[in-house]
Amino acid sequence: MGADVSATDGQGNTALHLLVAPHKYGNPPSAGGTLSMMISKCPSTTINQTNQQGNSPLQLAARKHQWEAARLLLNAGADPLIPDSDRNSLLHHLAECLRQPDEKPRFRTSDPEEDLWPEFSGLLQRGLAINASNKEGETPIFHYVRALRSQPSLRGTLMDCLLAAGADVSILNNEGQSLLHVVAKIPVPQDRFGVLPKKLFVEAFTYLMELGLDPQHEDNKERTPVDIAAAYAHKDILALFKK
């Protein structure tokens, strides 16, 4: 008798969950490897089965940014409309990984970034809402902006595409914070190798103001984006408001 491919471990993980969890079980197999074989052997009910944390294999793959595994699961019938245990949709996780199409690796040893916009737009066509909120009240564009340090600029083709797709930059999260708060809260990194674009944060802050966001809007704790910028030592942002 063969192994029961629908069996679960103590955390409710099926074999599919384990194969897309690289932090404990190594990198996911390639398209022609174990994952493809396991998907073909699993009953249809297993593909969307959730573990004790409330995540299906597809949601777990997305949380771990394992996009090849996610493609395999989607092609096998995994439901892309079900959010994960934090109410993040696939769009939230993809937004963290979107990169400008002409972006070059910042380190010579880095691999070129994968263009994930086709997957993002494809999921929009399949019915995922671009302004759906997670448990924190944040939409996918919050995740995109929070990954600013991985971008050459917030202003560009990808942001244009997000706006054209209906992304609402005026939404506030559960803390009453706007995207300006998000930019101001990103820690200024040590740029020993000179790979971060100069004025990256102040240009993003200015761009969002151009889109109509208020730098004096107070969050639930009466903190403005300018207050947050001061707390995180964004001197270039603070210089915008010096009289």
Domain boundaries, the chain: 13-79
pLDDT band at 113 (very low <50, low <70, confident <90, very high): low
- Does the structural domain 13-79 have CATH classification 1.25.40? yes
Those residues whose C-beta lies under 8 Å from the C-beta of residue 214, and which sit 6 or more positions away, are 178, 180
pLDDT band at 61 (very low <50, low <70, confident <90, very high): very high
Q: With a threshold of 0.75, does the pTM exceed it?
A: yes
> Is the pLDDT assigned to residue 40 strictly greater than 90?
no
Alpha-carbon gap, residue 29 to 8, rounded angstroms:
20
Alpha-carbon gap, residue 55 to 62, rounded angstroms:
10
Alpha-carbon gap, residue 146 to 180, rounded angstroms:
10
| Average pLDDT value for residue range 100-125 | 71
Most confident region among 10-14, 176-180, 238-242 by mean pLDDT: 176-180
DSSP structure class, residue 242: -
Alpha-carbon gap, residue 222 to 237, rounded angstroms:
19
Those residues whose C-beta lies under 8 Å from the C-beta of residue 191, and which sit 6 or more positions away, are none
The pLDDT tens digits of the residues spanning 25-38 come to 445 544 447 788 88
